[in-house]
Amino acid sequence: MARKISMKQAINEALDQEMARDPSVIVMGEDIVGGAGGDGERDAWGGVLGVTKGLYARHGDRLLDTPLSESAYVGAAIGAAACGMRPVAELMFVDFMGVCFDQIFNQAAKFKYMFGGKAETPVVIRAMCGAGFRAAAQHSQMLTPLFTHIPGLKVVCPSTPYDTKGLLIQSIRDNDPVIFLEHKNLYGFEGEVPEASYAIPFGEANVVRDGKHATIVTYGLMVHRALDAAATLAKEGVELEVIDLRTLSPLDLDTVLESVEKTGRLVCVDEANPRCSIACDISAQVVQQAFKALKGPIEMVTAPHTPVPFSPVLEDLYIPSAAQIVAAVKRTMAGGRQ
């Protein structure tokens, strides 16, 4: 039965249903149960924003409150995955991944390749990402490009509660390491989600709006900015096609190419910093594979090449806006062939 729940509830429900379905699923992280873990307060926290709240009551000690050491428990999760468990490790913020890069980049991502395809590492590493939460430079980054760069990792960044539940379930069932990034400013965003379990396969972009004049390719929170821009431009008779990549690795380039072949114009929108971003990657691949379809220059709308500012005024300017997307569409529409 479909009913409306928030993205935060969708994460909780996916974890709950997968823990009920498969006893090898465990969840680890800082404060995901009760923080300090005093008697009678074990379920007090449910994570820094309450995402895992209530799960301890149903699944008990399969939820592990860990010490404040990402390098230790992410390593432990990866080791447990290599030994047959399906751990979901939660880092509060993707910004903290830096302290466990060796475990993720050199170990988890490479086991299958280095052990002749015989080793599986079914670990999920969840973390909040993105700016707009007034949490300053060390808690606000969009680091999707870093993980997408590494062969052996799968990278997910959903935009709706429906996709969040289905993609998290797929992440848990998948036999490879998955980096699952949740935009914290979408946690309260509500949408229709079936109560039953379902998995959305990786590598299938979602065309969230059909259009014929230009294609927007994006993911995460920026999907909503792109839809705002599309609504604005529709009043001027410009119909945007908006593609939500959903998974950055594997990447559904076919859907992007099909759309660009129809519209001839492309705007890549990425909340990440501009250099070596998802926007750069998509732009380069489209130029390489569909150059003849392009009627005008590809535009990119990204964050600037700076850390995320703590000043609210500057932070709001830092995040790509619907107005910037509208302006970029107009630039590409004005240039090139008609």
Query: Please, what is the minimum distance in Å from the beta carbon of residue 294 to other proteins?
Result: 23
Q: Is 139 a catalytic residue?
A: yes
Under the binding rule (CB under 8 A), the answer on residue 261 touching other proteins is: no
> Are 231 and 240 a contacting pair, CB within 8 Å?
no
Sheet architecture: strand order including 154-156:
63-65, 25-29, 86-93, 124-129, 178-183, 154-156, 247-249
Write the interaction track for other proteins spanning residues 173-212; mark x where CB under 8 A is met and - where it is not.
Answer: ---------------------x-xxxxxx--x-xx--x--
What is the rounded CA–CA span in Å between residue 225 and residue 332?
18
Judge contact between 301 and 283, C-beta under 8 A: no
Selected catalytic residue, list 59, 139, 213, 224 = 139
Counting residues that bind other proteins (by CB under 8 A) gives 16
**Burial 297-334, CB ≥16 within 10 A → b, else e:** ebbbbbbeeeebbeeeeebeebbbbbebbbebbbebbe
3-state secondary structure of 98: helix
The site map against other proteins for 82-121 (x = CB under 8 A) is ----------------------------------------
Nearer to other proteins, 60 or 194 (CB): 194
Q: Which amino acid is at 117?
A: G
Residue 43 is a binding residue for other proteins (CB under 8 A): no
Inter-residue contact 74 to 88 (CB < 8 Å): no
From the list 286, 91, 268, 65, the residue with the least C-alpha distance to 179 is 91
Binding residue (CB under 8 A) for other proteins from 254, 297, 310, 317:
254
Residue with tokens 């989600």: 193
CB of 1 to other proteins, least distance (A): 6
Residue closer to other proteins, measured from CB, 206 or 249: 206
Is the Cβ of residue 46 or residue 166 nearer to other proteins in the bound state?
166
Nearer to other proteins, 94 or 226 (CB): 226
Binding interface with other proteins (CB under 8 A) = 1-2, 162, 166, 194, 196-201, 204, 206-207, 210, 254
Kindly list the catalytic residues.
Answer: 139
